Amino acid sequence: MSQAIFNLDAVVRTDLGKGASRRLRHEDKVPAILYGAGKEPVALTLEHNEVIQAQEFEAFYSHVLTLNIGGEKVEALVKDMQRHAYKPKVTHIDFLRVDATHAVTVTVPLHFINEATSKGVKEQGGHAEHHLADVQVSCLAADLPEFIEVDLQNVELGHTVHLSELTLPKGVTLVELAKGADHDQAVVTIKAPKGGAAEETSEEAAE
């Protein structure tokens, strides 16, 4: 993946308001706002073509980006992105400045691996039911992962993988788990197919 997608040129804009933003969109530009790190918010303008190409990559939403603002390079995260209701257009972006000394909270995707070859699926005839597609993590920007892997290789039929069972990179914590043990959410379950052989076997064993 090219690092170019994580570098975006931006221009400070002084013409604010809904009318100004509407004019920018007609010129194939994206209005944006940069805030955080104890500094004043700055209104920006970006090229729509650059944004639309960059946002096609999953990592765009959880990676530290570099905004080139009039020769100054600012590291930031995408905190919110608004899109047109039916056109393939980005209409506004909120960027959060990154402070290298303070933890950030970011939503990162889960990548499920070895699902087809897992014990519960391949050997026991089950199927994976995903309960979560992403998780919120807290860490320093330098430790921010693009995704969290969920390895299903040894997961058996009937077992549910919870947040506490995930393997996290060094320095990364899960926001939900920090709230207490009762927030240990289910991530994925290997379930027997309805009316399938695996379910029938379980019923026979119970009898």
- Residues 80-132: pLDDT tens digits? 998 888 888 888 999 999 998 999 999 999 999 999 999 999 999 999 999 99
So what CATH class is 3-97? mainly beta
CATH architecture under which domain 104-199 falls: Beta Complex (2.170)
Domain boundaries, the chain: 3-97, 104-199
Question: Is pLDDT at 142 greater than 60 in this prediction?
Answer: yes
Question: Burial level of 95, CB count in 10 A (0-12/13-18/19+)?
Answer: buried
Q: What is the pLDDT of the chain when averaged over all its residues? A: 87
Structure tokens given for 115: 């699902």
pLDDT tens track for 15-61: 766 666 666 666 778 999 999 888 999 999 999 999 999 988 888 88
Q: What is the DSSP string of 114-149?
A: S-TTSIIIIIT--EEEES-SEEEEEE-GGG--S-EE
Q: What is the pTM of this model?
A: 0.79
Coil, strand or helix at 24:
helix
Buried b (16+ CB within 10 A) or exposed e, 54-82: bbeeebbbbbbbbbebeeeebbbbbbebe
